[in-house]
Amino acid sequence: FQDQAEQFFRSGHTNNWAVLVCTSRFWFNYRHVANTLSVYRSVKRLGIPDSHIVLMLADDMACNPRNPKPATVFSHKNMELNVYGDDVEVDYRSYEVTVENFLRVLTGRIPPSTPRSKRLLSDDRSNILIYMTGHGGNGFLKFQDSEEITNVELADAFEQMWQKRRYNELLFIIDTCQGASMYERFYSPNIMALASSQVGEDSLSHQPDLGIGVHLMDRYTFYVLEFLEEIHPASQTNMNDLFQVCPKSLCVSTPGHRTDLFQRDPQNVLITDFFGSVRKVEITTETISLDRDLAGFESKFPEDEFATEPLKYAEQLPVAQIIHQKPKQKDWHPPGGFILGLWALIIMVFFKTYGIKHMKHVF
């Protein structure tokens, strides 16, 4: 039991969150919404509740006037799998999906009036899954056809999350063209990233449905969905299997991944660590005494070198000085030579035009 109790703390996380973002609008980007909804479905099936999922969909496909089958979003052709279902809860919809809102959700700098369902209330024991899909390019992802988020901004947002202790481990999956460029700039610890294509490659869509008239899913997410359908809350499949999903023969693009910032070996990371909300519950009638220093639990965060005392805002700003400010004395004056030259020229022009006879009036 001691071993198992130690195992209890080994993975380090106690709760799971998911932020699923679809950034494209318009009917022909049906597949991006279907991508996000399939990941949503898997994540919910594996145990993450709606209260811990922030779902951002930039457009409404299910109730789109062009949808021949209203209230459905299919992921397989021949309408095999409806990922919309009855209990989808979209937190950010339509025009609310903006770069600013996304970054605010991640960093937690949200106006006080935001409802709980729109907040990412993670803490330093949370494993967060971030899934993004849409149209992208080398170093950016397009939101709503009007703005972009760059890989630098994303990396800085993750660093803010790290500094604010908002995650324990983070899995970032992106399914766009040139998706690998989005994770190139990450520099915060404990991030693992997967992308559907390398820089210079396009991510392709899977199959069109002739009844609906659009492509239903992107290849990478289609095969990820197939993979995830096999997973159940107790499965021990690890990340290395996820890296093998969708080889080049099936996906045409080369999926990539990045694990150098991650502290654990991907072999030991279970899929359900990120995609599911697995609670380890062991019922026992014996008492266990836990050792003070448990192996595997090291302090992950560096100690502050010097403790600073909390600063009060009012003391930092010299209010009295500002209020009673005198108008500033100008420090710069034009050089004497310039003034002399300028006025000499003006006087010369004046006399040239109007004649020397005025000189005696001046002097």
Which parts of this chain interact with other proteins (CB under 8 A)?
Answer: 146, 328, 330-335, 337-339, 341-342, 345, 349, 352-353
Cα separation, 147 vs 197, in Å, equals 22
Annotated catalytic residue: which of 13, 22, 76, 177? 177
**Shortest spacing between CB 33 and other proteins, in angstroms:** 23
Q: Please, which residue, 310 or 337, has the CB nearer to other proteins?
A: 337
Does the active-site annotation cover 135? yes
Torsion sign (Cα): 117, 122, 127, 128: positive
Active site residues: 135, 177
